[in-house]
With several copies, the nearest count.
Chain A
Amino acid sequence: MTPSPPKGMTPLARREARLAWGLLAPTLISVAAVVVLPLLAVFWISFKPIGLADLRPPQVLIRESLRDRDGALTVEYRLRNSSQDVEIRNVVLTDTLPEGVRVAGALPGPCHLNDAGLICSFDSVPGGFRDRLRFAVEADDPEHAEELVELSEPQIRGTAPNVLTNLTFTTENFRKVFDGGQFLNVLGVTLFYTIFGTVGALVVGLMAALLLNKSFKGQGILRGLYLFPYVAPIIAVAFSWLILFDPFSGSANALLIQMGVTEEAINFFGEKPLALIMVTVFEIWRYFPLSFLFILARMQSIDSEMYEAADMDGASPFQKFWYLSLPQLLGILSVLFLLRFIWTFNKFDDIFLLTGGNAGTRTLTVDVYEQAFAISNIGAGAAVAVVIFLCLLLFSVFFFRVMSREEGL
């Protein structure tokens, strides 16, 4: 008989697992609340025909006033359906009449009085409904009647369909997203931006790392300096670039014109292909420090004896780079590539601040914002968000393949 492992957990193991879950719980709950729930919400909303204004379900708005028309006191309720086209059902208005104020004339049709006060019911209030309910009252103290009457706020209830929570769904949003050349265009721009931005940042970062991979005085300062673009607030650097490259009063143009590179000012962030190139260059500029940092860290962890062995083996500097450094860096480079790829794909602020998605720089993330907020079509925005999310899932699969090979980044 071959021995078999015992089933179940030992008491010590159970205690440890319980502690672990306890420690994880706050994080899990908060992350779920702010990441998982919103994600689900995005999926939900993407199937909803919903604009920003639809978030507030239609309701009946009411205003009460007491008019003194030539000595005759009249209470007036003005009712209004906040929506022009949605019907509100079972509308009931209730209000209490204050002490010393009595109904004097006939009540309007839907209303009646009981102990508590006035009740008016409507079966249904159609879209665009507006009405005034008036009735005469008499008061003991007409001077202060107005204050008294308006002190008691009228209450109104009614049920209206809420697009956000009801069960009407539509694929309209997705149809809109995929319709027309727009989507392919946006996708193309996104891919250009992502691929060149990522590769560029890696290559530039690699060069910077090669530059600083030796110890000399001031190396720390230079390293710190080269990290500035990444560490500074995005909004500050984005605006600096805009001002630097302003077509009319930017220093870059002035410099180029002065050096005779160009005759006319170039509208760096305003012209069709150039703007996309510029935002990509900005992306490279802003994120090369990160690749630089990682590559440098990896380089410094390469056993220096290996290079000494190569010295003994007679390898030249370029041979050392090509045959030794580069293969050793491949792992970190591929991990960086994938991570940066995903992050660049997700990038929003940079383009939003630089061009607002114009001049052919509208990426998927900018599209989310444009759809949801500029056009106030939340549903369409959510649909784009879903598309993004699905793309990312795809990348993540790749990512974990590579990651498991290059564990312990």
Chain B
Amino acid sequence: MGGISLRGVEKWYGDVQVIKGIDLEIADGELVVFVGPSGCGKSTLLRMIGGLEDISRGALEIDGVDMTSEPPSKRGLAMVFQSYALYPHMSVAENMGFSLKTAGVPAIEIEKQVVEAAEILHLTEYLHRRPKDLSGGQRQRVAIGRSIVRDPTAFLFDEPLSNLDAALRVGMRLEIARLHQKLDATMIYVTHDQVEAMTLADRIVVLDYGQIAQVGTPKELYEQPQTRFVAEFIGSPKMNILPCSVTGGQYHLRWGRGGKTTGHDGATHLGVRPEHITVVSSGGGQCDGRVSVVEYLGADCFLYVDAGRLGQITVRTSGDSPISAGAQISLKFDAAKLSFFGADGNAV
């Protein structure tokens, strides 16, 4: 009951094209995350689905019905805004019941639904407060509650957690995940934070300048990025991208040594994630360098290695690693986990 499909959707502001033809099918009950750097068009795309921006070209279907030029009120979607967008002059209960009230649902029925939603979100004791008397996390829950009450075809979330502090963000992320399990509703979730995307999504849509760079499950994106852009965007610390050449089952780092690989002819760069590099004694790995900074994080330790002309390489080691800044080390890459990219930035 909640499939959404986009067909060649474009958005133009005057002569500027912001969304460059998106085709996407979202299945009923799926949680899809739009992720990408700031300004890539995530919010715009979401708002076009919601009806808050016109669709300049292309078509939108919800549940198989063409909704391209319907106003938001007809689309039956619910949206949760980054700034919560609660009605400050109404109590929590009124906020949550407002959409039902405008639809003419009788007061008793509204009350029932609101109480139900409040229970799911642990808001029962705050129902009579005004939004300004709530903490950030509670407000965000009210905003979600407001959507739940409507029993919408799909939920749209626009960076709902970005105004919360780090600890709360982790907690709310978990709550949204649980909510999705429970409601089993279609959800589209926009964020620029790849951690959120990875942890929440059934499928991730990575957007790059108004175009889809890759669509896939988190694991697919992490392990088989189709472009350098996706490879660098997903994962923290970033994947190290180093120039290389590949010939006949052998890759060779520029200004470094090489190793075995299969296929991948024509690749110009290889990508290796920090956790797939091990520190070996000098000269033993694919390249050598000097540790410039050590960041101790308790469980892990990040080494920032100055590898001469290859640039800086980030290595992840365990927290009890004995290496300290200034040490001269060699780095060994896990051959099975390397990604290779061609000159056009696409994986080969």
- Touch A–B, Cβ below 8 Å: yes
List the B side residues contacting A311 at CB < 8 Å.
Answer: 51-52, 71-73
Q: How far is the CB of A119 from chain B (nearest CB, A)?
A: 69
B10-18, B185-193, B249-257 - interface stretch: B10-18
B71 pairs with A312, CB closer than 8 A? no
B77 pairs with A312, CB closer than 8 A? yes
A312 pairs with B102, CB closer than 8 A? no
Q: Which of A5, A303, A309, A316 contacts B12 (CB 8 A)?
A: A5
B346 in the interface (beta carbon within 8 A): no
A306 in the interface (beta carbon within 8 A): yes
- Map CB proximity to B onto A286-326 as digits: 1 under 8 Å, 0 otherwise: 00000000000000000101101111111110010001100
A10 pairs with B56, CB closer than 8 A? yes
A-B contact pairs, 27 of them (CB 8 A): A5-B17, A6-B10, A6-B56, A11-B69, A13-B54, A303-B85, A305-B82, A308-B52, A308-B72, A308-B85, A309-B79, A309-B81, A310-B87, A311-B71, A312-B51, A312-B52, A312-B77, A313-B102, A313-B146, A314-B99, A314-B102, A315-B73, A315-B99, A315-B102, A316-B102, A323-B87, A324-B87
Known A5-B15, A323-B87; 13 more pairs at CB < 8 Å: A3-B21, A5-B12, A5-B14, A5-B56, A6-B12, A6-B56, A303-B83, A309-B85, A310-B98, A313-B99, A314-B99, A324-B87, A330-B89
List the B side residues contacting A314 at CB < 8 Å.
Answer: 72-73, 99, 102-103
The residue on A at minimum CB distance from B101 is A323
A12 in the interface (beta carbon within 8 A): yes
B238 in the interface (beta carbon within 8 A): no
- A:1-51 near B, CB below 8 Å: 3, 5-6, 10-13, 15
- B:80-124 near A, CB below 8 Å: 81-83, 85-90, 98-99, 102-103
A273 in the interface (beta carbon within 8 A): no
A6 pairs with B102, CB closer than 8 A? no
List the B side residues contacting A308 at CB < 8 Å.
Answer: 52, 72, 79, 81, 85
- A:117-165 near B, CB below 8 Å: none
A3 pairs with B17, CB closer than 8 A? yes
Number of interface residues of A (CB under 8 A): 26
Given A5-B14, A10-B55, do A312 and B87 touch, yes or no (CB 8 Å)?
Answer: no
Given A305-B85, A309-B81, A313-B98, do A12 and B12 touch, yes or no (CB 8 Å)?
Answer: no
The residue on B at minimum CB distance from A306 is B85
Q: How far is the CB of B322 from chain A (nearest CB, A)?
A: 40
B98 pairs with A315, CB closer than 8 A? yes
The residue on A at minimum CB distance from B69 is A11
List the A side residues contacting B98 at CB < 8 Å.
Answer: 310, 313, 315, 323
A110 in the interface (beta carbon within 8 A): no
- Complexed CA–CA distance, A345 and B54 (Å): 46
Which B residues lie at the A interface, using CB under 8 A? 10, 12, 14-15, 17, 20-21, 50-52, 54-57, 69, 71-73, 77-79, 81-83, 85-90, 98-99, 102-103, 146, 150
CB-based closest 9 A-B pairs: A313-B99, A314-B73, A305-B85, A309-B85, A11-B69, A327-B89, A10-B54, A5-B12, A315-B102
List the B side residues contacting A3 at CB < 8 Å.
Answer: 10, 17, 20-21
Q: How far is the CB of B233 from chain A (nearest CB, A)?
A: 25
B83 pairs with A12, CB closer than 8 A? no
List the A side residues contacting B102 at CB < 8 Å.
Answer: 310, 313-316, 319, 323
The residue on A at minimum CB distance from B158 is A305
A84 in the interface (beta carbon within 8 A): no
Q: How far is the CB of B163 from chain A (nearest CB, A)?
A: 12
- Complexed CA–CA distance, A237 and B71 (Å): 47
